[in-house]
Amino acid sequence: MKKGILERLDAGEVVIGDGGYVLQLERRGYVKAGHFTPEAAVEHPEAVRQLHREFMRAGADVLETFTFYSSDDKLELSGNVTNITGEQINEAACKLAREVANEGNALVAGSVSQTPCYLKSRNEEEVKAIFKKQLDFFMKKDVDFMIAEYFAHGEEAVWAVQVLKTSGKPVAATLCISPEGDMNGVSPGDCAVRLVKAGAQIVGVNCHLDPMCCLKTVKLMKKALEDAHLKAHLMIQPLGFHTPECNHRGYISLPEYPFSLESRAMNRWDMQKYAREAYNAGIRYIGGCCGFEPYHIRALAEELAPERGLLPPASQKHGLWGSSLATQTKPWVKARSTREYWENLRPASGRPLCPSMATPQD
């Protein structure tokens, strides 16, 4: 029997989450940008399966079902598909995640996310009914735990947690908010307190901002929980892009979103630094969201290998800190086979006259 998510976290283990699916699959030609709905789980299961497999091989302990934005109201709004239902997507996504997770020691997390219904009506009964419909599919497929992710409004996330808690399975909740708080002006700390009181055992942030910004937000959550004498595990799954100038709306306000973000991509050494700082902040569920590729997840797993007691299978093809370059015949490349070289490198953009910052657009 695999240890559950709370068993692992309660024992002090580091849990590595997976990375971003919608942007990766858009780049690979399986997801249409705009509403970014996950019909690829039905249309191209081999693509979703392969990405699951790559993330797990890189070290992920959790595979999230590819059910982001799969509520029926979102699918209807997107217009991307007319012959595929939310039920079909949820069922296919659960099957794919479980199939790959069973190839290793990974857990499957059923994922729900923000709904158009909330912004349209703010009707608690209607919004909860959408989450309940998705939850029923997750229970049918017996996922290991639930994640309410990518919520810009803490209130909607609380409603999601209240529904997911009825499953009796562990519940994690992550908000896509900045240190400034959610879109209703509620602080990160207050959001965290409300989520834990609603029943979430794991709280944190995901998406919208880079690791350094997300770390600030989770630290505010941690302090508020401590002040309120509440206990919960902390979780972080940030962007794989540098976004130091972002406002509280996150990277979607950057002029490069979504098709020119490559120049902002974090490298593997950035990821190792992020993993260490997250661990030092007391966060034990550490992963990524949009922009995170499998090699980024491998970097997290390699940085935290001393604490985890193992390296991921993908490290068989990767020398730690560039050590494989020691076999190079070109002396200037061979000289790059040390940790000191990569830790002190200041990467160039290679783009003449490229501005170092952009002006976010609301």
- By the 10 Å C-beta count (0-12 exposed, 13-18 middle, 19+ buried), 286 is classed as buried
Which residue, 59, 113, 56, 57, is CA-closest to 90? 113
| 3-class SS of residue 310 | coil
- By the 10 Å C-beta count (0-12 exposed, 13-18 middle, 19+ buried), 124 is classed as middle
Q: Is 207 annotated as ligand-binding? A: yes
Q: Is 293:265 a contact under the CB 8 Å cutoff?
A: no
**Sign, Cα dihedral of 90, 94, 95, 96:** positive
In the chain, the amino acid numbered 261 is L
**Token pair of 84 as six digits:** 């595929």
Q: Is 214 annotated as ligand-binding? A: no
What values do phi and psi take at 233, rounded to 5? -80, 150
Q: Is 191 annotated as ligand-binding? A: no
Q: Is 216:179 a contact under the CB 8 Å cutoff?
A: yes
Hey, which bits of 30-178 come out as E strands? 62-64, 107-113, 145-151, 171-175
Q: Give CA–CA dist 178/217, Å, rounded.
A: 6
Which residue, 51, 289, 31, is CA-closest to 147? 289
| 3-class SS of residue 145 | strand
Largest separation between any pair of C-alpha atoms in the chain: 67
Q: Which residues pair with 133 in a beta bridge?
A: none
Annotated binding site: 207, 289-290
Annotated binding site for Zn(2+): 207, 289-290
